[in-house]
Amino acid sequence: MTHVEQPVPDLDQRSDRASMRDVISAYVSLTKPRVIELLLLTTVPVMFFAAQGVPGVGLVAATVVGGIFSAGSASVFNCVYDRDIDEQMRRTRRRALPRHVVTPRAALIFGSVLAVLSVLVLGFFVNWLSAGLSLAANAFYVFVYTMLLKRRTTQNIVWGGIAGCFPTLIGWTAVTNSVNWEPLILFMVVFFWTPPHTWALALRYREDYAQVDVPMLPVVKSARHVGGQIVAYSWVMVATSLLMWPIASTGWLYPVAAIGLGAVFLVQAHQLHARAKGTEDLTKIRPMQLFHSSNLYLSLLFVALAVDPLLR
């Protein structure tokens, strides 16, 4: 899952050393808090649905803390590996490592500590299946997406985005200690959601990616082609989301939300494609409109999933 970078506060120009507040802010920014928010938004609602009600507060707290440590760790490792291109990209050059507020060695230690803590918290306070899935997601994001796919293929975010789908499994296993069809369907919803979400952002910053030779789809293909791909993935995403109704025997709220939110998303995807057919001018295509709408779509869909069993 992607997000718009929030700049790290500038260091005091009157001092050669960063203040403690600057350093703490830099370490927090390495974990990409906005990404963590989205990941937790697909973890906690699944716990409510798996419990068919309100899960234990302690269980939710432990899952959230472990999830924060795990996602934060993966983001830190990503920042360390990508610090060379981050320094050249407009969207990322204010990150802590390009600004030399934190050293790569210190960041690696920080990321490793977070990874260990995530496994211990999830293993001892949730269950070891959830801990294993969390560790697998972390490793997939770092080794498969960041190190193997990102700089080599236009399909980087399609397959690399699998890491961001794991929270649906973790939320379910935290409650049930098993994997069923329901979390696998939700896993696929996030899988098909990720390309439209990310390609919209990549359209906005395609010059950045082109400058550092990262072959995001909007860099090597026309905006019209990208728009067509966004439409295709959006249709499959909405269709997949509707499978929860018959397979999980949901109440009325979830299918109503899935249909309504899906319809709005599809309209916006088609509108982006239509705007992209006749121009490459991003001010006319307005890709960030779909990017922000995609965040809202996923948030509301999973909130409806959490509330649905409470109404029954």
The DSSP code sequence of 90-120 is TTTTTSTTTTTSS-HHHHHHHHHHHHHHHHH
Q: What residue segments make up the domains of the chain, in order of their start?
A: 1-177, 180-312
Angle at CA 311, nearest 5°, toward 306 and 312? 110
Separation of alpha carbons 20 and 181, rounded Å:
47
Contact 132, 45 (CB under 8 A): no
> Which superfamily, per CATH, for 1-177?
UbiA prenyltransferase (1.10.357.140)
What's the pTM value of the predicted model, to 2 decimals? 0.91
CA distances, 251 to each of 128, 187, 246, 258, 286 (Å):
31, 20, 10, 12, 36
pLDDT in tens, the chain (312 residues): 655 554 444 443 433 456 788 888 999 999 999 899 989 999 999 999 999 999 999 999 999 999 999 999 999 999 999 999 999 988 888 888 998 889 999 999 999 999 999 999 999 999 999 999 999 999 999 999 999 999 999 999 999 999 999 999 999 999 999 999 999 999 999 999 999 999 999 999 999 999 999 999 999 999 999 999 999 999 999 999 999 999 998 999 999 999 999 999 999 999 999 999 988 898 899 999 999 999 999 999 999 999 999 997
- Assigned CATH for 180-312: 1.20.120
List the one residue out of 33, 107, 104 whose CA is nearest residue 67.
33
